[in-house]
Structure 1
Amino acid sequence: MNKSLIAAYLLIWSVTSAAQAIGLPKHHPVPGGIAVIPIGIAEPTTFNGKPVMTLTTTNEAYAIVGLSLSTNPGEHEILAGKRRITFKVSAHQYETQHLTIKNRRQVNPLPIDLERIRRERKEMDSAFLHFAVNSKPNTDFQSPVDGPRSSSFGLRRVLNGQPRNPHSGMDIAALEGTPIVSPAGGIVTAMGNYFFNGNTILIDHGQGLVTMYCHLSSIDVEPGEIVDAGTLIGKVGQTGRVTGPHLHWGVSLNNARVDPALFLSDW
């Protein structure tokens, strides 16, 4: 085994061990994943010109970088203060999922729907782009609802025979009315009844970490409300574009949609 390969394995091992010890998200540097990068001392850090989360342990600081599904595999770099630190993104193949949606308008929206969708995306984008520099988010999440995973993150979706955007979250199957809780502390920054997502809540946990909860039957929080881990925020439903009752749980990190499973120790 050559020295560079040994060094790569040691880096993965050290990052994984640190993540388990202090509750960092899992290091999985693929499109739609997260890169947990040791940076020595904590300094303002950016990726592609955008600020990224930094968390500090007793002996080490880490940049927690969200990688969008459109990230190209290969070598990338972050800028920690004035230091350039490189890391590698590996290729990853997501499976394809075929779904049949009864409401054809939610596959091929009408012009009036498209205007509504644009307004809603602008509202959600504002929440995803917010970055609270001085916050110290807890990234050791609890599951927001009890139930099996019914649809994984990143699936390449085909709706009524037509290719559509990949699945940007995790679907958890549960009966309508099942309680949904916040996986960590944060503040409710947006909510509403959206065309595709149905009744939806967005929670800002700090430093560009935002979680989203879709298709709810009811919402039990208000905009601006501060929530703790375990706070009841709503109940499972089947509003918006769905095939049955479930929670669509999304996670955005530095405005990149990433796999929520990377924040759970028991998935």
Structure 2
Amino acid sequence: MPTWAAETSSNQTELSEHGLPRASAVPGGIAILPLASATSPQPVAYFQGRRLMVLSHQGQWTALVGLALSTAPGQYHIRVQQAGRANYHVAFSVRDKRYRTQRLRIKNKRFVDPSTEDLKRIWKEKALIQSYFRHYIKQDHPIQAFVRPTPGRRSSSFGLRRIFNGKARKPHSGMDIAAAAGTPVQAPATGTVIAVGDYFFNGRSVFIDHGQGLISMFCHLRKVSVQPGQTIQRRDRLGEVGATGRVTGPHLHWSVSLNDARVDPALFLNAATKSK
């Protein structure tokens, strides 16, 4: 369980009108909850043991709650502590959402039925990737409206129930953008590169921490142009679209994680941007 220590900040992170992701309290979505006046000390909030992003928006401290795809519909609450008052809870509801099914054919059968040696590597990489998604920087970067990381057609949307070669696998935890190999991939927002690697399923990948538990992952890259520890700005080049890892062709897989819950990247894009 987290330590419920009161915390204040003189450098409040202002959430612009164009920087607030769209609220969608469904599995794979985001609940946006007002907490208290922004003239009061900054609250600290948690959901299911994970610290939440808390930002100042329209004169109020606001909590952003990432909801995993496994979240069941129903009533939930977050726990909040703020200097000068007792701990309190803020309740919210999660609605149901049904995602479509996508059937894919993978030529390399190792990516559907991995060998024993492959499984050892996969489990090791899974633990490593999980640690990146749980990364948390208290001194966050101001959140921005995200830009699309690469041009192209959205070939697979978030949340699709996936079947590879007739076998059901985990739902799709990101957005796929089909583009030619070598197409530049850019940072959707300011952040810090926390990891770069080459993984069994994800291929060459980059992880960016945008602050307060907001993490982006970019997979299947042909080329990586950044290194761990590097501070990047919005639209900085991260690498190039490729076809490494488990793929059916060149594309970018983009995942967004908030408080260790994979959420729909489209919620961070405005309507004009996400349709391109």
Quick check: TM above 0.5?
yes
**Partner of residue 100 from structure 1, selected from 105, 108, 127:** 105
- Kindly report which structure 2 residues correspond to 1:59-138, keeping only aligned pairs within 5 A, or say none: 59-81=59-81, 82-138=87-143
**Which residue is equivalent to 1:220?**
225
Structure 1, unaligned runs of 5 or more: 1-18
Separation in 1, partners of 2:143, 2:121? 34
| Matched-pair contact (CA < 8 Å) for 1:137–1:207 | no
Matched residue type, 1:210? I
**Which residue is equivalent to 2:22?**
26
SS of match in other structure, 1:87: strand
Deviations 1:2-47 (A, max 9, x none): xxxxxxxxxxxxxxxxx88252111000000001111124300001
What RMSD, in angstroms, separates the aligned Cα atoms of the two structures? Answer: 1.4
- Kindly report which structure 2 residues correspond to 1:1-267, keeping only aligned pairs within 5 A, or say none: 21-41=17-37, 42-81=42-81, 82-265=87-270, 266-267=273-274
Separation in 2, partners of 1:75, 1:139? 30
SS of match in other structure, 1:38: strand
Separation in 2, partners of 1:34, 1:150? 23
Following TM superposition, by how much is the alpha carbon of 1:111 offset from its aligned partner in structure 2, in angstroms? 0.6
Deviations 1:154-198 (A, max 9, x none): 000000000000000000111110000001111111111100001
Q: 1:228 to 1:46 in 2, by over 3 A?
A: same
Following TM superposition, by how much is the alpha carbon of 1:58 offset from its aligned partner in structure 2, in angstroms? 4.5
**Percentage of identical aligned residues:** 50
SS of match in other structure, 2:130: helix
Separation in 1, partners of 2:139, 2:200? 34
| Matched-pair contact (CA < 8 Å) for 1:29–1:35 | yes
Answer 1 or 2: which has greater helix percent.
1
Q: What TM-score, normalized by structure 1, do the two folds share?
A: 0.91
- Give aligned pairs, total: 250
